Homo-oligomer: A and B are copies of this chain.
Amino acid sequence: MGHIARIEKALLAALASSSAPDGPPRLAAACRHAVFPGGARIRPQLCLAVAMACGDSDPVLTDAAAVAIELLHCASLVHDDLPCFDNADLRRGQPTVHRAFDERLAVLSGDALIVLAFQWVAAAPAAHPSRLAGLIGTIARGVAAPHGIVAGQSWECEPKVRLSDYQRAKTGVLFAAATAAGAQSAGADPLPWLALGDRLGEAYQIADDIRDVVADPQMLGKPVGQDAALGRPSAACELGLSGAFEQFERFVAQASAAVPDCAGAKALRQLVKQESERLVPRAWSRDLSRNRVPEVCRAKNSLATPARAKAQQSAANGVAH
């Protein structure tokens, strides 16, 4: 079974465990809507790929970890799309959960997915249950305060923010949790695997900023120009497109170099390469004027907004990753 098929099967099993004939049917439907059909499933793929590279000695636990990480990612998207945050209508080409159902079910389905993530890992009939505590700790750190996704989203509510803190918390930390969890579920030391996830997460966040100003909304399955419109810190706005492209390439190279020596190193570097081309096709940087500043950012920068304050603050601190 390929990695994607293995992930989808495990996600289906987890979701099935959280519904019952005597449970509220709209909550179950909202949870399914939040998880299927999925995006690239890059985080669980990464978790699986690292576990395989480390011998995958407890595949049941690996699957559960990959599921937990994807459920937490999906939950963060549902809450991030809420009217009080991005007020997004579309996600993965479909209505967002609060549009397809309602705002209450969007809050609750996000909550339910967070709980299910930890419940599913704890319930896994693991061959090595002694790995459980460390694994849950690693997964939780990827989303928890003070440095995980929830903290990342919270930086949008602060008067001062450093772009590097924001990006690392919003994306990098869960990527690092995905690689570390893959190692841990296979009984390996997670530490050498953190850098790969961290660099890839940074690359992914910059790719997201680039795609927000360059890509076709049809391809993304959501509107573009959201960062500037919502006053969110964005590398594409701060560095210009050429700077963002360079930063992206740098992070991808660092991710590739961070793959520890192991039997599966080649396959992992291949995954990094494929994913980077999928995220930001090289043709984009060839086609675009090297010094172009996205129109949406220029328009935004003429306004006095929290985004501007954030950009100035970030510039003052230097955007060092």
Q: Mark A203-241, 1 if CB is under 8 A from B, else 0.
A: 000000000000000000000000000000000000000
CA distance A140 to B14 in the complex (A): 14
Chain B residue with the shortest CB-CB distance to A126: B133
- Assuming the contacts A22-B165, A123-B137, A133-B122, asked whether A145 and B28 have C-beta atoms less than 8 A apart, the reply is yes
Judging by beta carbons under 8 Å apart, are A23 and B151 in contact? yes
Judging by beta carbons under 8 Å apart, are A108 and B26 in contact? no
Q: Mark A138-157, 1 if CB is under 8 A from B, else 0.
A: 00110111111011011111
> Which one, A77-85, A243-251, A291-299, is touching chain B?
A77-85
Q: Does A110 belong to the interface (CB within 8 Å)?
A: yes
- A137 to chain B minimum Cβ distance, whole angstroms, is 5
The interface residues of chain B lying within 8 Å CB-to-CB of A141 are 119
Q: Does A281 belong to the interface (CB within 8 Å)?
A: no
The interface residues of chain B lying within 8 Å CB-to-CB of A20 are 146-147
- Assuming the contacts A84-B104, A132-B132, asked whether A145 and B157 have C-beta atoms less than 8 A apart, the reply is no
Judging by beta carbons under 8 Å apart, are B31 and A145 in contact? yes
- Which of B25, B112, B137, B145 meets A112, CB within 8 Å? B145
CB interface residues, A 28-81, toward B, < 8 Å: 28, 31, 75, 79
Chain B residue with the shortest CB-CB distance to A23: B146
How many copies, total? 2
Judging by beta carbons under 8 Å apart, are A105 and B25 in contact? no
Judging by beta carbons under 8 Å apart, are A25 and B107 in contact? no
Sorting the interface of chain A by its residue count into under 10, 10 to 19, 20 to 34 or 35 or more gives 35 or more
Q: Does A24 belong to the interface (CB within 8 Å)?
A: yes
Q: Does A253 belong to the interface (CB within 8 Å)?
A: no
Chain B residue with the shortest CB-CB distance to A121: B136
Q: Does A102 belong to the interface (CB within 8 Å)?
A: yes
CA distance A295 to B111 in the complex (A): 35
CA distance A145 to B20 in the complex (A): 9
Q: Does A27 belong to the interface (CB within 8 Å)?
A: yes
Judging by beta carbons under 8 Å apart, are B84 and A107 in contact? yes
Judging by beta carbons under 8 Å apart, are A104 and B26 in contact? no
Q: Does A90 belong to the interface (CB within 8 Å)?
A: no
- Assuming the contacts A129-B130, A145-B19, A145-B27, asked whether A150 and B115 have C-beta atoms less than 8 A apart, the reply is yes
30 A–B contacts, CB within 8 A, in A order: A22-B147, A22-B165, A23-B146, A24-B151, A24-B155, A27-B146, A79-B111, A85-B107, A104-B156, A104-B157, A105-B154, A107-B107, A108-B150, A108-B153, A108-B154, A108-B157, A110-B111, A112-B145, A112-B150, A115-B143, A115-B144, A115-B145, A115-B148, A116-B145, A118-B140, A119-B136, A119-B144, A122-B136, A129-B130, A132-B133
Closest CB pairs A-B (n = 4)? A23-B146, A119-B140, A27-B154, A122-B136
Interface, chain A (partner B; CB < 8 A): 18-20, 22-28, 31, 75, 79, 82, 84-85, 101-105, 107-108, 110-112, 114-116, 118-119, 122-123, 129-130, 132-133, 136-137, 140-141, 143-148, 150-151, 153-158, 165
